[in-house]
């Protein structure tokens, strides 16, 4: 149960990172309240790191 909870939380972070990328390109003309340096790199690294963490959770159990 613990692994499922951790995996779900990390998966939610993956969805958020992917959403930032999608919305920044689809709604480029919208006013944004925050700036994101190195725009596609930071969310992509977030997705890759999260997937790595999910793989490590399943390896230990």
3-state DSSP of 10-60: HHHHHHHHHHHHHHHHHCCCCCCCCCCCCCCHHHHHHHHHHHHHHHHHHHH
CB proximity list for 6: less than 8 A, separation 6 or greater: 57
Terminal Cα-to-Cα distance of the chain (whole angstroms): 11
pLDDT score, position 59:
64
Q: Examine the pLDDT at 16 and tell me if it is beyond 70.
A: yes
Domain range annotation of the chain: 2-60
pLDDT score, position 24:
87
Higher pLDDT, 37 or 22: 22
């Amino acid at each position: 149960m613990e692994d499922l909870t951790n995996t779900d939380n990390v998966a939610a972070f993956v969805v958020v990172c992917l959403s930032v990328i999608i919305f920044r390109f689809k709604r480029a003309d919208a006013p944004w309240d925050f700036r994101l340096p190195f725009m596609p790199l930071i969310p992509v690294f977030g997705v890759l790191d999260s997937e790595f963490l999910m793989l490590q959770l399943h390896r230990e159990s």
